[in-house]
Amino acid sequence: MRVTLKFKTDQGTDWVVTKDFNDKKHQDNFINYIERTKGYLLDEVFAKETKQTAEAMYLDWFNNFISTEAFRDHYELSLSEAENIIDEGRKINQLNK
């Protein structure tokens, strides 16, 4: 997933980076690393779910999770976010067959 992160530096300026992450945990690890090593504070996160990401997350849910609740917990999603991703991913997956 491609995400743009905006940090506040220790001098009050913005530092913006756009990066591809494997999943939310990968993103969180990067954020923690920047906060710990540079002393910057996360200000905003801009994420756009791509069709490829939605389909990959749908397939992960379909193949690896016993419940939507477990999927939500793993990806730290709200109920509506999880349902939207699953629905969109299902549609994309059906089109690709």
**Rounded to an integer, what distance in angstroms lies between the CA atom of residue 42 and that of residue 92?**
32
pLDDT for 49 equals 64
**0.75 exceeded by the pTM?**
no
- Each residue's pLDDT tens digit in the chain (97 positions)? 778 899 999 998 999 998 888 888 899 999 999 999 999 999 988 876 677 788 889 999 999 999 999 999 888 888 888 898 899 899 988 987 7
Token pair 């491609």 in the structure block, residue: 2
